[in-house]
Amino acid sequence: MNVIIDLCVVPIGVGLSVSKYVAACHKIIKDAGLESELHAYGTNIEGNWDAVFDVVKKCHEKIHDMGAPRITTTIKAGTRTDRDQTMADKVASVKAKL
Amino acid sequence: MNVIIDLCVVPIGVGLSVSKYVAACHKIIKDAGLESELHAYGTNIEGNWDAVFDVVKKCHEKIHDMGAPRITTTIKAGTRTDRDQTMADKVASVKAKL
Amino acid sequence: MNVIIDLCVVPIGVGLSVSKYVAACHKIIKDAGLESELHAYGTNIEGNWDAVFDVVKKCHEKIHDMGAPRITTTIKAGTRTDRDQTMADKVASVKAKL
Amino acid sequence: MNVIIDLCVVPIGVGLSVSKYVAACHKIIKDAGLESELHAYGTNIEGNWDAVFDVVKKCHEKIHDMGAPRITTTIKAGTRTDRDQTMADKVASVKAKL
């Protein structure tokens, strides 16, 4: 089962800047070989369900290791069985109607 | 690593009522032996990270099996390393300040 | 237009405990005369769209006033035109199928 | 008070394709003169709080007018008082650390 997620990880208790934690997550995503797209309020990732959610777990573990004692994350996750659809397909589908 | 999540699973393409799908997820949560609390816009679940996210995956698989070709899910997930905190603790902590 | 929302407000840069900020929001909701239900990962609120989102804005303003320089909030918002449905109806609808 | 949001509007009860509804929202955002960025799981919008949330409300009204009897929306909303930060700043801040 493939999934597209939007991942937004927020470390708490480490001050105002969260970009270094987001960058660390980006490296984890890349190391997993998954397609991803950074945007201004999260990162979209696509791939096999287990691989994608393994990355989410590794991001939590890494951010705790970096010193954040608390993390709150928001995830949107989409699956479909009627057809394959990539992140690029989703954007193209909307843009074709603009 | 323990986690508390808020899970809101939305089947698409099966009409307006989603309660039977939510009820099916509830059974999956119970079968996994995890603590959970249903509320008006989702279900809170607490437990070991792998057990909790295994339930999320099984919910997607079950809802597809029930006939929904597309699902979009919103998850909030919280972890902390400074101390243990249950769902009941979180609610009590706020209520003590009201 | 009525709306049911799930509101989760996270102050950033003020340490690990967020319960006093959630309690302050709870007071704003009560002062607005809106129905609400606290749960372990947010607060559900129902009412007229403008009244509900005015409360969300006031929560951000209040939490900044309390000293949090940054806030990230997650909201789920549901509207329907086919029939009236309260938060209690939604929970009852699932429980009837358990 | 400025805000950056991530908006994901999901019409329910109108079949599997939601892109025409997203496109209609895009037009509302443009007509409001707000900066926005479409991504694979939502649209980021930045601007004055009232202007941004007025757009969210108009999206719900429009999608109901287009025939969707039920809508569930997920919003992330970020405000900060320590400094101005645009959507482009947020992405650049992460990319500088990659």
Nearest chain C CA: its distance from B57 CA (Å): 20
Q: Can you give the pLDDT at residue D60?
A: 98
Q: Can you give the pLDDT at residue C35?
A: 97
Composition of chain D by helix, strand, coil, percent to 5: 40, 35, 25
Q: What's the CA gap between D87 and D6, in Å, rounded?
A: 10
pLDDT category at B37 given cuts 50, 70, 90 is very high
Mean model confidence pLDDT for chain A: 96
Residues of chain B with C-beta less than 8 angstroms from the C-beta of D13: 15-16
Based on the structure, what is the number of domains in chain D? 1
Chain D contact for C90, CB < 8 A?
no
Tens digit of each residue's pLDDT, chain C (98 residues): 999 999 999 999 999 989 999 999 999 999 999 999 999 999 999 999 999 999 999 999 999 999 999 999 999 999 999 999 999 999 999 999 98
Distance linking the first and last C-alpha atoms of chain A: 30
DSSP string, A31-82: HTT-EEEEETTEEEEEEEHHHHHHHHHHHHHHHHHTT-SEEEEEEEEEEESS
Q: What is the pTM of this model?
A: 0.97
Mean model confidence pLDDT for chain B: 96
Q: Can you give the pLDDT at residue D78?
A: 98
- The CATH code of the domain that includes C52 is 3.30.70.930
What tens digit of pLDDT does each residue of B39-85 get?
999 999 999 999 999 999 999 999 999 999 999 999 999 999 999 99
Strands of the C2-12 sheet, one edge to the other: C35-39, C42-48, C2-12, C70-80, D70-80, D2-12, D42-48, D35-39
Q: Which domain holds residue D90?
A: 2-96
Give whole-number Cα distances, D33 to C57, D30, D55, D91, in Å: 21, 5, 10, 21
Q: Can you give the pLDDT at residue D77?
A: 98
What tens digit of pLDDT does each residue of B3-34 get?
999 999 999 999 998 999 999 999 999 999 99
Q: Can you give the pLDDT at residue B8?
A: 98
φ, ψ of residue B28 in degrees (nearest 5):
-60, -40
Facing D12 at nearest CB: one of B8, B12, B69: B12
The length of chain C, given as a count of residues: 98
Pairing of strands A42-48, B35-39: unpaired
Q: Can you give the pLDDT at residue D45?
A: 98
Q: Can you give the pLDDT at residue D35?
A: 97
D 63-82 → A contacts, CB under 8 A: 74, 76, 78, 80, 82
Q: Which of A19, A72, A76 to mutate: most C Cβ within 10 Å?
A: A72
Q: What's the CA gap between C37 and C3, in Å, rounded?
A: 14
Chain A contact for D38, CB < 8 A?
yes
Residues of chain A with C-beta less than 8 angstroms from the C-beta of B77: 56, 60, 72-73, 75
Q: What's the CA gap between B18 and A82, in Å, rounded?
A: 19
H helices within chain D, ranges in order?
Answer: 19-31, 49-65, 87-95
Element containing residue C34 per DSSP (H, E): none
Beta bridge partners of C7: C43, C75
Beta bridge partners of C11: C71
Q: Can you give the pLDDT at residue C34?
A: 98
Q: Which of A37, A89, A94 to mutate: most D Cβ within 10 Å?
A: A94
The length of chain A, given as a count of residues: 98
Q: What's the CA gap between A36 and D3, in Å, rounded?
A: 25
* Cα radius of gyration (chain B): 14
Give whole-number Cα distances, C15 to B83, B93, C10, C63, D27, in Å: 14, 15, 11, 13, 40
Percent of chain A with pLDDT over 70: 100
What tens digit of pLDDT does each residue of A10-56 get?
999 999 989 999 999 999 999 999 999 999 999 999 999 999 999 99
Q: What angle do CA D32, D36, D41 make, to 5 degrees?
A: 125
Low pLDDT (below 70) residues in chain D: none
φ, ψ of residue C46 in degrees (nearest 5):
-130, 150
ipTM: 0.96
Composition of chain B by helix, strand, coil, percent to 5: 40, 35, 25
Q: Can you give the pLDDT at residue A70?
A: 97
Chains that touch C (3 or more CB pairs under 8 A): A, B, D
